[in-house]
Structure 1
Amino acid sequence: MTSVNTFLWFDSEAERAAEFYAATVPDSRVTGITRNPDGSAFIVTLDLAGQAVTLMNGGPGHPHTDAASIQVIVDGQDEVDRLWAALTSDGKPGPCGWLTDRYGLSWQVVPSELPELMSGPHAAAVGAALNGMSKIELKGLREAHERG
């Protein structure tokens, strides 16, 4: 059997990060923890809304970058707002729905409606509106789509 798993290297906060992600992203849970002899977490496995993720406390030297991110596709502005607030708490917002959480991991919080709004003859107007946003605001994208 072949499987694909996202593997993330943390300095020392893998367990706290996994618990935070499981509490923040619906339908997620920590599925296992392998501990070092001193009781600290070494490997933490997480089911992140149906996606297998492994977090490892490997020590410094391998920081996260925005070149790789976790994309969460959600229904509606309320869920965009909720996840954005949770993930940017002690983190920082970025452009076009990207953000960096308190652990330095990059995320994209994307409404499921975005691909439809970005297709067809109004794509350029929606793209221009999106480029001016940090957190994605559906109202602004819908208005850009209508103006086309």
Structure 2
Amino acid sequence: MQRITPCLWFDDQAEDAAKFYVSVFKNSRMGPITRYGGAGANVSGRPKGSVMTVTFHIEGQEFVALNGGPLFKFSEAISLMVKCRSQHEIDEMWAKLSEGGQEGPCGWLKDQYGLSWQIVVPAWDEMLRDANPEKSERVMAAILQMSKPDMQQVQHAYDGR
């Protein structure tokens, strides 16, 4: 049993969003769908029998998408970080997740549902913590200048090229 499961609040797009996320990531699957009964429908204002929650898994991580109505919206205060191993993977994740959404700075984007994502390379953490402050500063400056991450550009900055 996974102890912590992120719950993503949507107005009424939980099922569509879950299907979208499952389509983006290779190691993913849909889970059970629960529907509003009378009591939940009365409290939430959602129609009885409509989708309440959708469970889905991405890369072994369980998520729940909730149709809770228009009360809450996503913000940049929370994002999901995708660690990519290659430029091809960066390009693929960036294209799929930003389609219909909004590209941002430094590897950040919002998907079509307004959820924020960070597309990153794990090696960048090590580069940013390098004992040589000139190297880490060049890496940070390179990352701050890009929208979609460019592995080669960051590596050149790290190497001083």
Task: Report the Cα distance in structure 2 between the residues aligned to 1:78 and 1:39, rounded to whole angstroms.
Answer: 42
* Among 66, 70, 88, the residue aligned to 1:60: 70
Task: Report the Cα distance in structure 1 between the residues aligned to 2:49 and 2:12, rounded to whole angstroms.
Answer: 13
Query: Which residue matches 1:125?
Result: 138
Q: Secondary structure at the match of 1:103?
A: coil
* Among 100, 104, 109, the residue aligned to 2:114: 104
Tell me, yes or no, if the aligned pair for 1:41 and 1:57 is still in contact at 8 Å: yes
Cα RMSD, aligned residues only: 1.6
Q: TM-score, normalised by structure 2?
A: 0.86
How far residue 103 of structure 1 moved from its aligned partner, in angstroms, is: 0.3
How far residue 35 of structure 1 moved from its aligned partner, in angstroms, is: 2.1
Larger Rg: 2
Query: Matches of residues 75-86 of structure 1 in structure 2 within 5 Å?
Result: 75-86=85-96
* Residues matched between the structures, number: 148
Unaligned stretches of 5+ residues in structure 2: 38-47
Q: Secondary structure at the match of 1:26?
A: coil
Task: Report the Cα distance in structure 1 between the residues aligned to 2:27 and 2:36, rounded to whole angstroms.
Answer: 28
Matched, 1:137 2:119: no
Query: Matches of residues 28-43 of structure 1 in structure 2 within 5 Å?
Result: 28-36=28-36, 38-43=48-53
Unaligned stretches of 5+ residues in structure 1: none
Counterparts in 2 of 1:66 and 1:55: CA distance versus 1, 3 Å:
same
Tell me, yes or no, if the aligned pair for 1:9 and 1:55 is still in contact at 8 Å: yes
Query: Which residue matches 1:7?
Result: 7
Tell me, yes or no, if the aligned pair for 1:77 and 1:111 is still in contact at 8 Å: no
**What amino acid is the match of 1:33?**
I
Q: Secondary structure at the match of 2:88?
A: helix
Tell me, yes or no, if the aligned pair for 1:96 and 1:134 is still in contact at 8 Å: yes
Matched, 1:74 2:80: no
Q: Secondary structure at the match of 1:116?
A: helix
Counterparts in 2 of 1:135 and 1:2: CA distance versus 1, 3 Å:
closer
Query: Which residue matches 1:24?
Result: 24
Task: Report the Cα distance in structure 1 between the residues aligned to 2:17 and 2:142, rounded to whole angstroms.
Answer: 32
How far residue 2 of structure 1 moved from its aligned partner, in angstroms, is: 7.2
How far residue 117 of structure 1 moved from its aligned partner, in angstroms, is: 2.7
**What amino acid is the match of 2:149?**
I
Task: Report the Cα distance in structure 2 between the residues aligned to 1:111 and 1:15, rounded to whole angstroms.
Answer: 30
